[in-house]
Amino acid sequence: MDKFVIEGPARLSGEIHVQGSKNASLPMMAATVLSTGTCTLRNVPDIWDVDTLSRILKEVGMEVDRRDHTITVAASHPSKCVAPYDLVRKMRASFFLLGPLLASRGHATVSYPGGCVLGPRPVDIHIKGLRMLGADIKLEHGYVTAQADKLRGAEIYLGGPNGPTAGGTYNVMMAAALAEGTTVIDGASCEPEVEELANFLNAMGAKISGAGTHRIVIEGVPSLAGADYSVMPDRMDAATLIFAGAVTASPISVRGVVHRHLAAVADKLSTIGVRLEKLSDGYRVLPAEALSPADVTTQPYPGFQTDVQPILCSLLTLARGISIVTERIFEERFTHVSELARMGARIRMQGSSLIIEGVPELSGAPVMASDLRGGAALVVAALAAKGVTEVNRVYHVDRGYEALDQRLKKLGAKIARVEV
């Protein structure tokens, strides 16, 4: 188990490139199960979650070859249909295999998923959608078992209590790609990663329109072929790097950004006083002389992303005044709060909101990452803190960020990975 040792406050300089999208790569890897040919995905980040899903794909009879940032996947034993608990418990995204296995093989047994502890995230909407396509689904002994001789298109509403579900949209869209007839998903997630998955499926021969809106239409096809596809940039990685520049008042350039994916982030940073200068393929951070407080509520895309909320909190701890951050997506996404308090932040919880009173500076302290984005928030805070911060359990960070320590070091950060 590793930890990061970070000496601050840092002054960063130079430019840094965004990794390939974690949240797009994982469902696209799951979608390769639908193919009768060979699929090649490029610009895939070298992260733990990709490692885990590669192992699960092998368990369900796929040949997986990884070289640099390219993954090639082809079916070798298409009769295997079980995604085991020991692997699925490590990562919620492995549940995305339920729809593809069901559609391509008529049967799927997938362990109930794990991943970051962010409060209740039931998979009932996934199951509801697949049942409406004709699947018989049972929950037994911690596994979800689904079977269907033939899936048939249907009109399905996927809205949930906290808004659209990206995971449910992935699963139903992938299954519907091979269903007989036309499927209409209303209340679909508009996340860019949903649109990216649809583009990949269409490259394989699917007929999907409307992805990126709340209404997606899928005309089922008999089979899907292989495809060669380059994964889009990771908008969460981009936001994290931008916040690293903002919190350290460093004019760094972040390259490989899709501007529209970060519209809400750029708007909120402008309110705080941090401007982003548009580059042809990214942003240059123009630091604020002083940070202003802000009121922020997380929302489904294109609203302010829940994944960025913990990292935003690190910045707002240094704003002059009181900020209010309200979490509307994951009710328990506050594991970073007690750790930031150890660094001198003044934060109190009030229901689903955080009241943040800015302080002049943070101080280094031993802290512990409890989830992916919360861990990234602690790294960002440590860059600004005076003294040495030890961020423990950085395997959470490694789940979604490729060599974050090495990339920050190239910008001038004093950060070391230490084996515990």
Which residues is 388 bridged to in the sheet? 7
- Asked about 190 being catalytic, the answer comes back as no
State the number of CA atoms in the 13 A half-sphere of 356 facing the CB.
34
Sheet with strand 2-8: strands edge to edge: 366-368, 387-392, 2-8, 414-419
Contact of 380 with 243, CB cutoff 8 Å: yes
Q: How far apart are CA 175 and CA 66, in angstroms?
A: 26
Contact of 415 with 4, CB cutoff 8 Å: yes
Distance of CA 160 to the CA centre of its chain: 19
* Residue 158: other Cβ atoms inside 10 A: 24
Contact of 3 with 392, CB cutoff 8 Å: yes
DSSP structural state of residue 370: -
Question: Between β-strands 38-42 and 228-230, what pairing exists: parallel, antiparallel or unpaired?
Answer: parallel
Contact of 386 with 411, CB cutoff 8 Å: no
* Residue 251: other Cβ atoms inside 10 A: 15
Contact of 377 with 354, CB cutoff 8 Å: no
Return the SS3 of 83. strand
Considering the candidates 39, 81, 116, 190, report the single residue annotated as catalytic. Answer: 116
Q: How far apart are CA 412 and CA 397, in angstroms?
A: 20
Q: How far apart are CA 47 and CA 19, in angstroms?
A: 10
Tokens of 110: 């997938």
Tokens 């072929």 belong to which residue? 225
Q: How far apart are CA 41 and CA 53, in angstroms?
A: 14
Rg (CA), the chain: 21
Which residues have a catalytic role annotated?
Answer: 116
